[in-house]
């Protein structure tokens, strides 16, 4: 149960004066719907209203705060012209300009003959000094109501800074002192304020310096958020470790036979990773391990070795992929090898129906099928295993923690191996997979040639088409990737369907397209034709980003490359260079490029090291978008910036380990305060792992 002291912070924003359903819906577009979420929505800039000139000295274009006398009101002589209020001080005249005015309100707020304080942007227009629609207007006797430094918040269309600021001020009234969850010596050493003081300070900046990530108030809040994350992961890790596991040792008959069947030798990184996985599986605790490997580093064979170890011990294994295309590809790689090893392997996706599905389910339940490859259909109701010993989850960031736990829960004491082909920066690995051990495949298999990467403006499209004509004569196959499925009125980008139509006019039936809105059968047919060589140019959206393997395709054209993230560009480039021939990647961009897009393209030309690219992507884009989607299974931080606060993350990780070593069930006074911290940052599921939770 959430502590009672936090109840006010978790009230809905509609309890605030002036926040009805419409405003609440706008607030929900930029943050979540509780008062605490408004507290986490920090200002991005500020307006300084401390510039207090006389009228004659007010600089054009500046925000100025002026004390003036109201001389007269002038109604517009005809519709469409502005309403004006004439004001003065001893140095000159100021005209206040209002379009579509509420006249009664203006006459009440700016009474003739009164001294008032006006704040807004100064405009020198046709010899007059003006302020159009001032931001603030108060009587001089009420000067203390005027905010001299005003925070400016990230907004959404239809929500003004004034309305959001008012709501946030209301939310801050629910912020009360809480028992300190940080180590007193640490707080003193860093000169951090208490939690409630930090929240209030972060929302009331006095200068630009107060907006910096390393300002004490912001650093304190970032550390609180990171500590909640690391403590929750440490509790989850401990909980999983406590779960009864099984010892899978195997006798090596299947793994040795597989090694003899492979037409290549494993890399040192593959061998090291297999050894780490096998050592984990031989322990009585459950395995929770992440296998990180760059594009083409050979994760599937490592996973297969782990699955064979489980089968040698008499159990079953499952491998789950995020898309049907990737599930089919895993199956097409694994099934022939299983056939040679005398192991029954099956495939199960959402579209398998009728007798085929029934047969797969029966064989899984009675243990005839030893390895099953599928999509999320594997952890739906009705799928039962005879004895699931190992769950392999590919492209974990597309699923999330809950689905990971759902599959591993299909059988008692299931080991879990998570794989990703998206190299993840170390800081993100800590925040997303802190409950897991990590193996890294940081070598390419021998003979894998680097892909030559070039960049070219879209104006040279004609030259690109001519280059493709030559490539087709040489027998090449080509991917052409577009960012959209169909034409968009919002963005002037070429869609996959439009580009496919254009290329078909030139190259005929050698061209086809594939995108996520097509039915699975349609996608499969196109991909099979491409793999068979019947289609020579495949126009696609990023549906081909993960896992598609066509060794004879060795040219990748990425249109509007400036629209893609670095890691996504790297994933797409990894689709080529899988065969014996030299491969190339062409990045087509719309001129002119902004600084970030130019930096991305230059990095792509400099390196094919996925781990370096991932670090650069984090630096350029921030953690929320680094995997190409905010709905990525990764935690979204609202106070911590993982690039700027990277050092804090390591400290938080060490702190979480120390805390649980000293106070495993968080029962001490500090432990009770840490429970409050977990609830404050909505890590409620972690508290249930405590004995007295």
Mind giving me the DSSP string for 74-87? E--SSTTSPEEEEE
Instruction: Find the angle CA(604)-CA(333)-CA(547) to the nearest 5 degrees.
Output: 25
Gap between the Cα atoms of 603 and 615, Å rounded: 11
DSSP code of residue 544 = G
CB 493 within 8 A of CB 563: yes
Closest CA to 641 of 621, 666, 655: 621
DSSP code of residue 244 = B
Place of tokens 């946030």: 168
Gap between the Cα atoms of 116 and 107, Å rounded: 12
Lowest mean pLDDT among 167-181, 375-389, 452-466, 514-528: 514-528
Domain identity same for 457 and 574: yes
Domain identity same for 332 and 410: yes
Lowest mean pLDDT among 183-187, 247-251, 389-393, 397-401: 397-401
What is the residue-wise DSSP string for 312-375? HTT-EEEEE-SSHHHHHHHHHHHHHHHHHHT--EEEE-TT--HHHHHHHHHHHHHT---EEEES
Domain boundary among 607, 627, 660: 607
507 vs 642, higher pLDDT: 507
DSSP-based three-state secondary structure for 279 = helix
Q: What is the mean pLDDT of residues 582-605?
A: 91
Q: What is the mean pLDDT of residues 531-537?
A: 90
Domain identity same for 301 and 378: yes
* Neighbour tally for 78: CB within 10 Å: 5
C-beta contacts of 378-387 below 8 A and 24+ residues apart: 378/318, 378/320, 378/348, 378/407, 378/410, 379/320, 379/403, 379/406, 379/407, 379/410, 383/348, 383/410, 384/410, 385/316, 385/318, 385/410, 385/411, 386/316, 387/314, 387/315, 387/316, 387/411
Domain boundary among 99, 118, 146: 146
Q: Is residue 685 part of a domain?
A: no
Gap between the Cα atoms of 142 and 138, Å rounded: 6
Residue 483 pLDDT exceeds 90: no
Closest CA to 334 of 353, 317, 355: 317
Q: Which two tokens stand for residue 86?
A: 């004439």
Domain identity same for 27 and 62: no
Residue 623 pLDDT exceeds 70: no
Q: Is residue 535 part of a domain?
A: yes
DSSP-based three-state secondary structure for 116 = strand
If pLDDT is split at 50, 70 and 90, which confidence band does 28 have? very high
CB 333 within 8 A of CB 300: yes
Domain identity same for 300 and 405: yes
Q: What CATH number corresponds to the domain at position 471?
A: 3.40.50.300
Q: Which two tokens stand for residue 498?
A: 């439009």
Domain identity same for 526 and 562: yes
CB 106 within 8 A of CB 83: yes
Q: Is residue 659 part of a domain?
A: no
Give whichever of 237-246, 341-350, 415-424, 611-620 has the largest mean pLDDT: 341-350
Domain identity same for 305 and 370: yes
Q: Which two tokens stand for residue 508?
A: 């005929």
For residue 629, the model assigns a pLDDT of 36
Lowest mean pLDDT among 75-84, 107-116, 376-385, 557-566: 376-385
What total number of domains does the chain contain?
4
* Neighbour tally for 598: CB within 10 Å: 14
For residue 548, the model assigns a pLDDT of 61
Residue 301 pLDDT exceeds 50: yes
Q: What CATH number corresponds to the domain at position 135?
A: 2.40.50.140
What's the Cα-to-Cα distance from 420 to each of 191, 288, 319, 399, rounded to whole Å? Answer: 40, 14, 13, 11
Q: Is residue 320 part of a domain?
A: yes
Q: Is residue 113 part of a domain?
A: yes
If pLDDT is split at 50, 70 and 90, which confidence band does 409 have? low
Q: Is residue 622 part of a domain?
A: no
Closest CA to 3 of 654, 534, 691, 678: 678
Domain identity same for 404 and 518: no
Domain identity same for 292 and 408: yes
Residue 642 pLDDT exceeds 90: no
Total residues belonging to the chain: 693
Residue 119 pairs in a beta bridge with 65, 136
Q: What is the mean pLDDT of residues 383-392?
A: 92
Gap between the Cα atoms of 219 and 645, Å rounded: 8
The residue range of the domain holding 100 is: 50-146
For residue 411, the model assigns a pLDDT of 54
Full-model pTM:
0.71
Residue 546 pLDDT exceeds 50: no
Mean pLDDT across the chain = 87
263 vs 272, higher pLDDT: 272
Domain boundary among 560, 583, 607: 607
What is the residue-wise DSSP string for 525-550? HHHHHHHHTS-SEEEE-GGGSSS---
Q: Is residue 260 part of a domain?
A: no
Q: Which two tokens stand for residue 189?
A: 């050493």
CB 648 within 8 A of CB 656: no
Domain identity same for 466 and 600: yes
CB 432 within 8 A of CB 284: no
* b/e map 488-514, b = 16+ CB within 10 Å: eeeeebbbbbbbbeebbeebeebbbbb
Gap between the Cα atoms of 505 and 609, Å rounded: 38
Domain identity same for 34 and 67: no
* Neighbour tally for 565: CB within 10 Å: 18
436 vs 128, higher pLDDT: 128
Q: Is residue 223 part of a domain?
A: no
Domain identity same for 54 and 37: no
């Amino acid at each position: 149960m959430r502590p009672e002291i936090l109840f006010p912070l978790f009230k809905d924003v509609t309890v605030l004066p002036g926040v009805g359903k419409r405003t609440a819906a706008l607030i929900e577009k930029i943050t979540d719907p509780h008062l605490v979420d408004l507290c986490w929505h920090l200002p991005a800039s500020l307006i300084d209203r401390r510039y207090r000139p006389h009228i004659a000295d007010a600089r054009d274009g500046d925000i100025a705060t002026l004390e003036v006398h109201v001389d007269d009101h002038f109604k517009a002589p005809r519709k469409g012209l502005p309403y004006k209020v004439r004001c003065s001080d001893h140095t000159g005249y100021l005209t206040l300009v209002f379009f579509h005015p509420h006249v009664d309100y203006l006459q009440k707020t700016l009474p003739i003959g009164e001294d008032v304080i006006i704040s807004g942007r100064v405009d020198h227009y046709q010899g007059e000094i003006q302020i159009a629609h001032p931001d603030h207007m108060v009587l001089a006797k009420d000067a203390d109501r005027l905010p001299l430094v005003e925070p400016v918040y990230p907004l959404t269309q239809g929500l003004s800074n004034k309305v959001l600021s008012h709501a946030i001020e209301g939310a801050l009234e629910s912020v009360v002192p809480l028992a300190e969850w940080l180590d007193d010596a640490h707080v003193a050493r860093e000169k951090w304020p208490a939690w409630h003081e930090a929240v209030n300070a972060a929302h009331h900046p006095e200068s630009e310096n107060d907006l910096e990530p390393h300002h004490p108030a912001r650093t304190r809040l970032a550390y609180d958020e990171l500590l909640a994350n690391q403590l929750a992961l440490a509790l989850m890790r401990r909980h999983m470790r406590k779960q009864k596991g099984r010892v899978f040792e195997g006798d090596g008959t299947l793994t040795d036979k597989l090694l003899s069947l492979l037409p290549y030798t494993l890399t040192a990184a593959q061998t090291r990773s297999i050894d780490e996985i096998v050592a984990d599986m031989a322990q009585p605790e459950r395995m929770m391990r992440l296998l990180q490997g760059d594009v083409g580093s050979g994760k599937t064979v490592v996973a297969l070795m782990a699955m064979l170890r489980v089968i040698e011990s008499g159990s079953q294994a499952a491998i789950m992929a995020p898309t049907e295309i990737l599930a089919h590809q895993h199956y097409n790689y694994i099934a022939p090898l299983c056939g040679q090893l005398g192991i029954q392997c099956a495939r199960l996706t959402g579209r398998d129906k009728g007798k085929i599905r029934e047969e797969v389910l029966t064989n899984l339940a009675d243990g005839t099928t030893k390895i099953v490859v599928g999509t999320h259909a594997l952890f739906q109701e009705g799928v039962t295993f005879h004895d699931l010993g190992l769950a392999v989850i590919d492209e974990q960031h597309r699923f999330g923690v809950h689905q990971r736990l759902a599959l591993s829960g299909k059988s008692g004491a299931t080991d879990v191996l998570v794989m990703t082909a998206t190299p993840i920066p170390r800081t993100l690995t800590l925040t997303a997979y802190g409950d897991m051990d990590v193996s890294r495949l940081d070598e390419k298999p021998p003979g894998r040639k680097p892909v030559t990467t070039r960049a070219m403006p879209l104006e040279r499209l004609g030259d690109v088409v001519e280059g493709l004509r030559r490539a087709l004569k040489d027998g090449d196959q080509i991917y052409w990737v577009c960012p959209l499925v169909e034409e968009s009125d919002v963005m002037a980008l070429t869609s996959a369907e439009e580009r496919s139509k254009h290329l078909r006019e030139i190259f005929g039936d050698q061209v086809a397209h594939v995108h996520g809105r097509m039915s699975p059968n349609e996608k499969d047919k196109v991909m099979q034709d491409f793999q068979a060589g019947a289609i020579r140019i495949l126009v696609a959206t990023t549906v081909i980003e993960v896992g598609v393997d066509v060794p004879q395709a060795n040219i990748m054209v990425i249109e509007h490359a400036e629209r893609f993230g670095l890691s996504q560009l790297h994933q797409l480039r990894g689709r080529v260079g899988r065969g014996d021939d030299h491969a190339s990647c062409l990045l087509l961009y719309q001129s002119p490029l902004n600084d970030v897009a130019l930096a991305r393209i230059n990095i792509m030309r400099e390196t094919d090291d996925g781990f370096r690219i991932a670090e650069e992507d984090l630096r350029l884009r921030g953690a929320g978008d680094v995997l190409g989607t905010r709905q990525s299974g990764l935690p979204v931080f609202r106070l911590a910036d993982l690039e700027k606060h990277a050092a804090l993350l390591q400290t938080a990780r060490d702190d979480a380990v120390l805390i649980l070593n000293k106070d495993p069930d968080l029962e001490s006074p500090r432990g009770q305060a840490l429970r409050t911290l977990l609830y404050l940052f909505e890590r409620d599921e972690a508290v249930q792992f405590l004995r007295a939770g």
